[in-house]
Amino acid sequence: MPTILQIYNKNIIITRGLIRIARIDQELCDDIGEPERIAEVLRQNSVNADLFTFCQRLPETTPRYEYYMEWDDIAVLPVKSYDHWWSNQIKSSTRAMVRKAVKQGVVVKKADFNDDFVRGMVSIFNETPIRQDRRFWHYGKDLETVKREFSKYLFREELVGAYHKDELIGFIMLAYVGQSAVLGQIISKIKHRDKAPNNALIAKAVECCAQKQLPYLIYARWDTGSSLTEFKRHNGFEKVSLPRYYIPLTAKGQIVLRLGLHGSLVRVLPEGMKARLKKFRSFWYKRNQTLKPTFKGRG
């Protein structure tokens, strides 16, 4: 598990491993403030982080700091109005999926974070240990764990649930920050995928943004070539590049940054090799899922 520190009212996560990297939790939602002050506290802390990284937030896409910088790609939907999105930013096939959800009896509405809702979350999380061809982080968590972990940022989040015959089959947690709404979580039950709940949830998120006159809806990273990115593209999202900065905190951090070893080694691989590695990872997880008993949460 990563180490978490609170510095100037910000949760800072420090990864474990040979290279320890610190970053702001939910960095697409929190302003950096004065990065050098945070870096100085990290240098003096016993966790011995090697690098501190942070990115700018929309609408600021022009670099404003002099630290070492790279570009970070995120998925952004520019929002003018719901009608504009429906008529101009998505294709007929995506509109058909939203209509399909309605025809299949999916009801999308705002929800409260209570025990009934959390039980629905646990049921979704514990449906399968593998999602998007990798281990699912929230699989096996019980009700109290999910309640604790997902209540931290409710002060700025709105919950939207997708229901079928009163069963919670999907939900989003929509964080409102500045001029943006950030999809902190969007997930639905695989067994109800034929009812297109995620498309219905995206449509509701666009409606919420339009009502609040927020010009941006952000859906995490833009990873070229992934099926999730294709889903984002079909729902009107575009790639936007934000400046990401790295501040070395130790001598090791300086060397790592100079040698370009601060990021995932996967990023330097050819696209063909990345695709083969993803297929192998998917095969490995699915094989082990069938060979080993799976844990079900108590919630």
Amino acid sitting at position 142? D
Give the pLDDT confidence score for residue 161 in this predicted structure.
98
Average pLDDT score over the chain: 89
Q: Domain 76-240, what fold?
A: Aminopeptidase (3.40.630)
Give the pLDDT confidence score for residue 107 in this predicted structure.
98
Give the pLDDT confidence score for residue 266 in this predicted structure.
47
Give the pLDDT confidence score for residue 261 in this predicted structure.
85
Residues of the chain below pLDDT 70:
264-299
* Range(s) of the chain covered by CATH 3.40.630.30: 76-240
Q: What are 156's two structure tokens?
A: 């700025």
Give the pLDDT confidence score for residue 177 in this predicted structure.
94
DSSP 139-190: TT--HHHHHHHHSTTGGGEEEEEEEETTEEEEEEEEEEETTEEEEEEEEE-G
Give the pLDDT confidence score for residue 271 in this predicted structure.
56
Helices (H) and strands (E) in the chain, counts: 9, 13
Cα radius of gyration rounded to whole Å, the chain: 20
Give the pLDDT confidence score for residue 67 in this predicted structure.
96
How far apart are alpha carbons 175 and 44 in whole angstroms? 32
Q: Tell me the whole-structure pTM to 2 decimals.
A: 0.85
Closest CA to 235 of 283, 200, 272, 189: 200
Give the pLDDT confidence score for residue 127 in this predicted structure.
93
User: Is 9 exposed, middle or buried (CB count within 10 Å of its CB: 0-12, 13-18, 19+)?
Assistant: exposed
Give the pLDDT confidence score for residue 140 in this predicted structure.
92
Give the pLDDT confidence score for residue 278 in this predicted structure.
54
